[in-house]
Amino acid sequence: MEKVLVSACLLGINCRYDGLNCKSPESEKLLSEFDAVPFCPEILGGMSTPRKKSGIIETSTKKPATGEDVWDKKARVLSEDGNDVTENFIRGAEESMKMALMLGIRKAFLKSRSPSCGISSVSCFGEIIPGNGVCAAYLRRKGIEIFEKN
Ligand code: SF4
């Protein structure tokens, strides 16, 4: 079976900001279809569970932004209590890519709408905007095929 990275919360690991997970019948199917390697970029970046919710904010406009904007140095990741957690998100993405390289992984299934894992849309304190999360953007730039799961 092909080895793939999967957002750990999709597989039932309680690593979400609120200490819960996002397991669903659809995401559970990944376990039978692939050799799934669970990973959580926010935990790999040194954050705790539970933790404050985070959102990506454009530096100049203070409006919601995307993971691409973080890598392009146009946005920062802030927790809801105002702490700048950008370096945690960057470190988590880089460590995730390290895992992919170490294990010869070319695909990742990622939780929708997360500021780290989201693909095609990310949530910023309740507002949904188009774009990838910080880790999703990084994996994609490094050549990993990314797929969204709920
Ligand atoms: S969406 Fe990604 S960063 Fe958030 S809890 Fe799940 S694996 Fe961790």
Does the beta carbon of 9 lie inside 6 Å of ligand 1?
Answer: yes
Q: Mutate which of 4, 9, 48, 112 to test ligand 1's pocket (most atoms within 8 Å of Cβ)?
A: 9
> Phi, psi at residue 37, to the nearest 5°?
-105, 105
Does the beta carbon of 42 lie inside 6 Å of ligand 1?
Answer: yes
| Domain residue extents for the chain | 3-149
Q: Where are the beta strands (DSSP E) in the chain?
A: 3-7, 35-39, 54-58, 75-79, 107-111, 121-124, 127-130, 145-149
- Residues ≥6 apart with Cβ < 8 Å to 141: 71
**pTM assigned to the model:** 0.96
Q: Mutate which of 4, 42, 85 to test ligand 1's pocket (most atoms within 8 Å of Cβ)?
A: 42
Q: What does the mean pLDDT of the chain come to? A: 97
Residue 118 has a pLDDT of 97
Q: What is the DSSP code (8-state) at residue 35?
A: E
CB 146 within 8 A of CB 140: yes
Q: Is the pLDDT of residue 150 over 90?
A: no
100-133 confidence digits (pLDDT tens): 999 999 999 999 999 999 999 999 999 999 999 9
Q: Which atom of ligand 1 is nearest to the CA of 42?
A: 3
Please tell me whether the peptide bond between 38 and the residue prior to it is cis, using omega within 30 degrees of 0: no
